[in-house]
Structure 1
């Protein structure tokens, strides 16, 4: 589907329902994938996506065309997902942990032998704090000082949660390395 970004934004600013539908049709799938990275329950992720689009439609006038529209939409969606997580009781469990738990956080490992869906499943199994910070840092590209500010935590907490997430993921990857032929090999990194 082709679209003109400026016309689409202009139509949404005028609250044109067809423009709003086209915005959803063009970006809804990508933004839902973002919601699913942060929210473990599909139904809740759908609710977060709906909330994100409400915010997008209500605040589209603040989009200034100084960055790609998709970047602004992603930012609104991530913030909406984070707000949802803050409202959950288990969000309060973020705390500083030892930075290099089991010495695994500094080791490099390869993801080439794993399918995206399998990796996303591993990420979804992480504790909420680790999963959130891993997504913000490794996938969204935020720096630890930005994450700390966004989440109201210390930069050290962000770093330690990321380190813990890497360690937990590495342990999962070490336990299972699958190949295209279905065979499994346990590996050490």
Structure 2
């Protein structure tokens, strides 16, 4: 199962699904998405679709013998195609990512999902997350979620102490100590 990742707080990120092959059986989507978390406003696209055309959207480009089904979490887990939320074919499909939550996509062609490849789970989080009344940066969230080892824990601890005290200079001091 694939889980999506974090963008920067100030800027949206433009993602190309798999960066080259698009929606196909040859792609390991779990590997591709492992270091990503999508925020509201990020762009996910497939080759051939311009970023301006799919802001706040998940876009899939695929060969005519594939399709894209948006499904429930239960159907995603079992690759069930009997009652999708929506079914799309034709080679290009876009989905708005305008709100937080998790969406599930599979290919409805027999064995394309069950072979372990053509399924994608996109979790979209808010642009700004708040802890103790303070905005939290994406690097902090990634560290808390255990998705990255950088920045060093000492820096994060110094930055959190500064947040709690209301002193942003503590993060700079923390960097200097590393």
User: Where on the TM-score scale, by shorter chain, does this alignment land: which range?
Assistant: under 0.3
Which structure shows the bigger proportion of residues in helix conformation? 1
What's the TM-score once normalised by structure 1's chain length? Answer: 0.26
